[in-house]
Every structure is written in structure tokens, then in C-alpha cells.
Amino acid sequence: MFAAVYAAEESSSNVLMEVARDFSPRVEACGPREVTLDVSGLARLFGDGKTIAAELRRTAADRGLRVRVAVAGTRTAARLLAHYSADHKGPPYDEAIVIEPGTEAASLTNLPVELLAIFGPVTPKSQIPNPKSQTPNSGSPIPDPFTITLRRWGLRTLGDLASLPPDEVAARLGQAGVEWQRLARGEDRRPLLPAVPEERFEQALDLEWPIEGLEPLSFVLGRLLEPLSAHLERRDRGGAILHVRLHLVTREVHERSLQLPAPIRDARTLRTLALLDLESHPPSAAIDRVVVAIDPTPGRVVQFSLLTRPLPSPEQVSTLMARLNALMGEGRCGTAVAVDSWEPGAFAMRPFAPRDSGLGTRDSGLGVRIPNPGSRIPVVALRRFRFPVPARVRVDRGAPVRVISDRRGWSGGHVETYAGPWRSSGGWWLDTADVHRDKPRSHEGVSASPWPVEVKAWERDEWDVTLSDGATYRIFRERDTDAWFIEGVVD
């Protein structure tokens, strides 16, 4: 059996939900003033349906709510009877409506068809006949166009609609008409969807003695995260944000929040991420209380492919990136992407987040298009050195003829063929205050590299040369200092 509880006036929906949860854990909110609950099995505790309805009304009255309670064998019948208010000459709020299971269709016969509007449109309104917005014989406009059509056909009650042949209804109104006819008979079109109460995923521990250092804190975090991980697994949830609050002996609170790249609920992974973050941002004093909280999100569903190489799990990637950030510094690890800038070698840093590009695409997952191997068009790429390599270049008649470098593993050689020069210049418009840039910049939502970048005016000649070792290099000469450098290798 099901019970529908409809409040007489606007009130806090939380109060209505609390009243319903006092009787059953299977409660569904149907609106700000209405809830439905499964009361099957409560007869052993309270008695028959009338006693259950009376207890519901009494409990709601103790919370300051005037409610109408309807008990029936289906949710649909209970909701229709609960909405049959005094405006439709129904029973007042101080009475309960109880019908025996199996008598739903007979009990709903005399109810007006306008009550079907509480379920909303079954199909888009474009598929429902749209007559005039007012019924000729009704005293007030009817909001739903479907019920207006029924009134124009002479159907006044739910019994009139339920008695029509289903085939004829489907021929004239389609599947929407069949669904409305089932509702008029008190049949449920879907099962009850119980609302899951909001849960707080938080664990706290008061320490007997203050602790210092990450090693004792690791045991405390493991003790707190293990029950949290089990709780997330029972609820099929994952952690989206991990909050760690450390109450210090100095009455200060050291709080850190970690944005997780994917829903994670593994206790060891969460502990490792928290410790690596605290290693980079340690507390200033001893700790006497530890609080760990997790913002939940729906669990991750992973579907592997038989045709592509599996990517590493988010737990492994997030742990690796946390270790690299702790070693190199915050924001110094990620994926380098090119930016539209006049600076030579300018790039930006994006958080590393590999993704599977899927079968049949030529996307590397980092926003870079991989060339088609079957194309006849040659593809040339410049493998640029992070810092240009100094070189000694011998020039004959304005062209390089030999390139020598002191870099280990690179001997240089004679120039077989060359192309150039290409003259480029820039930065001459900069002020003296912009000569050095120490703060990272952002470009189109991408964080720039936090490494100090020296920005200065340049003027140089660039050459592409093929040496006697068979490799092709890009070299350039700074015109102001007459110094030569190797910028990269052409692949």
C-alpha cells in the first residue's frame, strides 16, 4: 500500500519529508506540498490503513502541519484522492481517505478529469490536441490542453475516461491518451523512486596528544578515510573534493581542499593525495584535531575497449601528478600547449588529463591533430630545444657552411644544403618595466608556465640547414650580438 500526504499550506518541504521518514524509508517527494511513501508492512506496528493515516495526520499536526492523507493500493490513486480537496467538494483536511487495494478504479470514478493535470504532460504538448484555453461549461480555465480536449468531448470524470475503449483512445490521442487512461484507472506508470537523504561524508578525531610531522598524521588520515571510503562504496559515490581541516594547538585551523580529477573513493589514494598536498603546504604548529570531509558525486562507470590501449586509472594519474607537483612546485607540471603569441617558444601549461579519443579518430587527446599516415603530403615538425644551444658557425658569402657545437653527443658538420635567411624581430615596443616577467599569465583560460620568462627585444636571421650527418637543424643569428644558436631539430 501507498500513502499520499498533501499539505494544506506552503511549508518547508524538509518538515514534510521528516514526517514521512518517521514511518517509512521509501519516500518520494512529488512537490513542495506533497510526498508519497510506501506503507507496506506497517500494519504490524499500527494496524489497518485508517490507523496508519490517523498516525500520519497526528505526527504532522505535532510539527504544525495540516495535511490530507490518502491510502490506496497504488501511488496514482493515493495522489488523486489526496488532491481531491474542498474545491472539488472532497472531504476536509481533518478526515483521511482510505480505500482497499484492488478498488482503485471504482473509487476514482466520480473524480473530475482536471485532477490528471497534477501528473504533468506525459508527452510533449506538440503531440497533444490544442483547443481553446477555456472550457465552455467550466467556471475557471483548465491549465492542461489534454484535459481541455477531454472536456470538449463530454468527459467530466475519470470514470468516463477509464470506460473508453483503449484502442479508440490510442487511435485518436496516441500513446499519450493511453497513458492518461491508465492514470484515470489508478494504475502506476512507474515504481516509487525513494529520495535519498542528504548524507554528510565527514570523519573527525580528537587526539589525546598533539602530533607533528606527516608520518603520525598518515596513520590518523588512514583511520579516518577507511570508513569514509566504505561509506562512499555503499552509496555508490565517489569523492569530488577532499577537505582536510587540521586544528592546531595555536587555536588556528589549517584547511586544505583538493579538487579530484575523477570520482575517487580509494582510501589509500585519498590519503596519499592529502599527504602530498600537506607536504607542500605544511601546518605551522602541532595538530590536536583532524577533520576529513568529502564532497560526494555519482560513482564512475568505466567501460574498457578491446581495440584501444587502456589508459591509466585516474587514481594512478592523480597520485603521480601530486608527487610531481610536490617535487617541482605547484602548477609546474601538466601539458604544454602552444599559444598565439609573438614570443619565440611561448607556451602555456594545462592540467594533465588524458582521455580516450575513441576508435576512428585521429585526436591525440591533448587537442593536437595527428597527421594521417597514408597522406602523401610531407609533414615537417620542429623539435625545439627548451633553451637554444650555443654554436659556432662559419659563414661564406653570407651563408653558413659549417656548424660546430660543444654540446655533448652532437659534433656538427658541414652544411650540405640550406634555406634562408628569414629575418624576424619583435619586442622593440616593450617598455623597460616589461623586460622581465616573473608572474604567470593566462591565455584563454589556460594557466601560463610559472617559470620566470625573460622577455626582451630580438632581431635575428633564421636558417634551415642540413649537415653532413644527415640531420636538419634550425639555426639563427642574433643580429645585435652576432651570436649563433641552434633552435631545434627538424623531423
Residues 43 and 177 in one domain: yes
Residues 34 and 142 in one domain: yes
Residues 37 and 129 in one domain: yes
Of the candidates 277, 264, 278, the residue with the CA atom closest to the CA atom of residue 315: 264
CB 271 within 8 A of CB 218: yes
Residues 31 and 179 in one domain: yes
The structural domain count of the chain equals 3
Determine if the pTM surpasses 0.85: no
Find the farthest-apart pair of alpha carbons in the chain and give their distance in angstroms, rounded: 109
What pLDDT score does 410 carry?
74
Residues 155 and 226 in one domain: no
212 falls within a domain: yes
Instruction: Give the integer Cα–Cα distance in Å for 217 and 222.
Output: 9
Instruction: Give the integer Cα–Cα distance in Å for 221 and 211.
Output: 12
Residues 73 and 153 in one domain: yes
Query: Worst-scoring range by mean pLDDT, 92-96, 172-176, 196-200, 324-328?
Result: 92-96
Considering only residues 129 and 298, tell me which one the structure prediction assigns the higher pLDDT: 298
What pLDDT score does 302 carry?
66
Q: Which of 255, 271, 298 represents a domain boundary (last residue)?
A: 298
In the numeric block, which cell numbers belong to residue 162? Answer: 477509464
CB atoms under 10 Å from CB of 273, counted, come to 23
Residues 226 and 102 in one domain: no
330 falls within a domain: no
What pLDDT score does 225 carry?
92
Q: Order across the sheet with 27-31: list the strands.
A: 27-31, 34-38, 2-7, 67-72, 97-98
Q: Which of 266, 298, 330 represents a domain boundary (last residue)?
A: 298
Q: What CATH number did the domain enclosing 282 receive? A: 3.30.1490.100
In the numeric block, which cell numbers belong to residue 464? Answer: 634551415
190 falls within a domain: no
CB 475 within 8 A of CB 467: no
20 falls within a domain: yes
What pLDDT score does 13 carry?
59
Gyration radius from the chain CA atoms: 36
pLDDT interval class at 103 (50, 70, 90): confident
pLDDT interval class at 248 (50, 70, 90): very high
Residues 179 and 211 in one domain: no
Of the candidates 398, 404, 403, the residue with the CA atom closest to the CA atom of residue 423: 398
What average pLDDT does the segment 72-77 reach? 88
Q: Which of 298, 323, 358 represents a domain boundary (last residue)?
A: 298
Residues 213 and 101 in one domain: no
What pLDDT score does 399 carry?
86
Residues 36 and 180 in one domain: yes
What pLDDT score does 172 carry?
85
Provide the sign of the torsion angle of the four alpha carbons 35, 40, 45, 49, taken in this order.
Answer: positive
Burial of 427 (0-12, 13-18, 19+ CB in 10 A): middle
What average pLDDT does the segment 214-230 reach? 90
Classify 110 as helix, strand or coil.
coil
Residues 171 and 213 in one domain: no
Residues 137 and 105 in one domain: yes
Instruction: Give the integer Cα–Cα distance in Å for 36 and 71.
Output: 10
217 falls within a domain: yes
Q: Supply the mean pLDDT for the chain.
A: 77
Q: What percent of the chain has pLDDT over 70?
A: 77
DSSP-assigned beta bridge partners for residue 384: 488
The kind and range of the H/E element at 416 are strand 413-426
What average pLDDT does the segment 4-12 reach? 75
CB atoms under 10 Å from CB of 189, counted, come to 12
Per-residue model confidence as pLDDT tens digits over 444-486? 334 444 444 445 677 888 888 888 887 888 888 888 888 888 8
What pLDDT score does 131 carry?
38
Per-residue model confidence as pLDDT tens digits over 340-392? 767 767 777 777 766 543 333 334 444 445 555 566 666 677 888 878 888 88
CB 98 within 8 A of CB 124: no
Q: What CATH number did the domain enclosing 148 receive? A: 3.30.70.270
What pLDDT score does 360 carry?
36
Considering only residues 1 and 430, tell me which one the structure prediction assigns the higher pLDDT: 1
Instruction: Give the integer Cα–Cα distance in Å for 102 and 243.
Output: 52
Question: Domain residues for 261?
Answer: 202-298
What pLDDT score does 133 carry?
37
What pLDDT score does 433 carry?
45
Considering only residues 217 and 427, tell me which one the structure prediction assigns the higher pLDDT: 217
Q: Parallel, antiparallel, or unpaired: how do β-strands 347-350 and 67-72 relate?
A: unpaired
192 falls within a domain: no
What average pLDDT does the segment 105-113 reach? 86
In the numeric block, which cell numbers belong to residue 113? Answer: 478529469
What pLDDT score does 441 carry?
42
Per-residue model confidence as pLDDT tens digits over 18-65? 888 888 888 888 877 888 888 888 877 888 888 888 888 888 888 888
Q: Order across the sheet with 237-248: list the strands.
A: 202-211, 287-298, 237-248, 253-264
352 falls within a domain: no
CB atoms under 10 Å from CB of 74, counted, come to 20
What average pLDDT does the segment 147-163 reach? 84
Given a cut of 90, is residue 290 above it in pLDDT? Answer: yes
Amino acid present at 284: S
Q: How far apart, in Å, are the Cα atoms of 367 and each of 333, 353, 364? A: 18, 11, 7
What pLDDT score does 392 carry?
86
338 falls within a domain: no
What average pLDDT does the segment 185-194 reach? 85
Of the candidates 64, 56, 51, the residue with the CA atom closest to the CA atom of residue 12: 64
